[in-house]
Amino acid sequence: MQRKYFDIAKYAFGVVLAVFVTISLINPELLKALSQGTPKIGADAPPTQLPEIVKQFNLAIENASTAVLPTVVAISVESEQKNPMSDFFKDFHPFFGGPENFDQNQKVQAYGSGVIITSDGYIVTNNHVVEGATEDGIKVILFDKSEYKAKVIGTDPSTDLAVIKIDAENLKPAYFADMKDVKVGEFVIAVGNPLGLDFTVTKGIVSAIGRGQLRLPRKSNYQIDNFIQTDAAINPGNSGGGLFDLSGSLVGINAAIATETGGFMGYGFAIPVDIVKTIVEDLIEDGKINRPALGVMIGEVDKVTAKSLGLDKVKGVLVNDVIKNSAAQKAGIESQDIILSIDGNPVNSVAELQSYVIRKKIGDNIKVKIWRDKKEIEKTVKLQARTEDITANDTNAGEDESVTDQNASINFDKLGFSVEPLSKEQKKSIEN
């Protein structure tokens, strides 16, 4: 029996020896690795060491993200839209039969984001996120995955802001930054729920402040075009989410993207926090906006306009028309005046003027410095409530504190001429 076990062991040893000899002839390195145990995977150290300043920058982004994520919510909205096939088929039903429900509305599910602004459940989002929501059709999901039904407190289509409320306590509200401290070039993070990817953080910089004339769909005759531009990635679903600086302070509410594809193409836009604060305070207090109006139709000043009116450089905002019985008319402001400043604050764009007036109250007196007849004049304007029945077709009025149609002609009555943009055909003929 011992002889038998000895023969088996000798045979096994021969097989193992043959395998090692074969391996050594074919792949000596493998034989070496086998003899030394399991091979080491990966290098002993990274190829380069991060400078301490880079580590601190990464840590700042990480800390800001961790701090603000609980202040952002996901919003699911159920709305009803008219069946697009109803008008086409309903006339044929008596002849061909078929479904009886072509006139019924279709339920549509949409998604967006919001930012908690009080510990007891008030949340700011975009008007277009909750617009048309069915009763009990708004659901809010917090960062801890808890869900609540929400009700609409108030909306403002002119700024695309809305306030909703959930029954919750001890929430973490956002800290509002001061817009005077927000600078072009500083790093920001956008937090929201893009494309169904809940609580996503993207990083970028403030690309521009006071960006206007984006030609977004108009929801109101009083639409405010004043945005922070950022290259932090913003996609559908980010709407209503927050744009934060690296201290975790809320800089703006993400509202729009510039896109030809429906997705991010390099930059997006947020509503500045000073406008957000003014609007949400009104909506929470009254459920509506009590906004004052200066009572003018305004446009940007370009080089030609500045030269024709005797300005030494391009500055101010052009008054294209004054609304009848408005605060501006009562104060003596006229068409073709250039508004240079309000209360000593220079205004060099439509967005700056709108942003300043929107933060004032009805009945406030403001000092308006204007340029007329090649000299500066100061007027005191007592702000009035905006006139709700003003329409773009009113020959005596227009969109209060709004940019004039850039394709319309502008009359310089005092100088005896009018100007209008060149058509494509006219530009082509000049180029040729």
Report, as residue numbers or ranges, the catalytic residues: 128, 160, 239
Which residues share a beta bridge with 217? none
Give the tokens for residue 138.
């708004």
Alpha carbon of 146 to those of 139, 143, 333: distances in Å?
10, 7, 54
Identify the residue whose tokens are 């809940």. Answer: 198
Q: Are 351 and 210 in contact (CB under 8 A)?
A: yes
Q: Are 65 and 57 in contact (CB under 8 A)?
A: no
DSSP letter, residue 174: P
DSSP letter, residue 21: H
Give the tokens for residue 38.
């399991």
Which residues share a beta bridge with 229? 208, 269
Give the tokens for residue 55.
């580590």
Per DSSP, the residues of 60-105 read: HHHHHHHHHGGGEEEEEEEEEEE-TTHHHHTTTHHHH---S-TTSE
Which residues share a beta bridge with 227? 211
Q: Which amino acid is at 123?
A: I
Give the tokens for residue 215.
């030609």
Alpha carbon of 21 to those of 8, 36, 285: distances in Å?
20, 16, 88
C-alpha span between 332 and 319 (Å, rounded)? 12
Identify the residue whose tokens are 């990274």. Answer: 46
* Closest C-alpha among 276, 236, 290, 289 to residue 122: 276
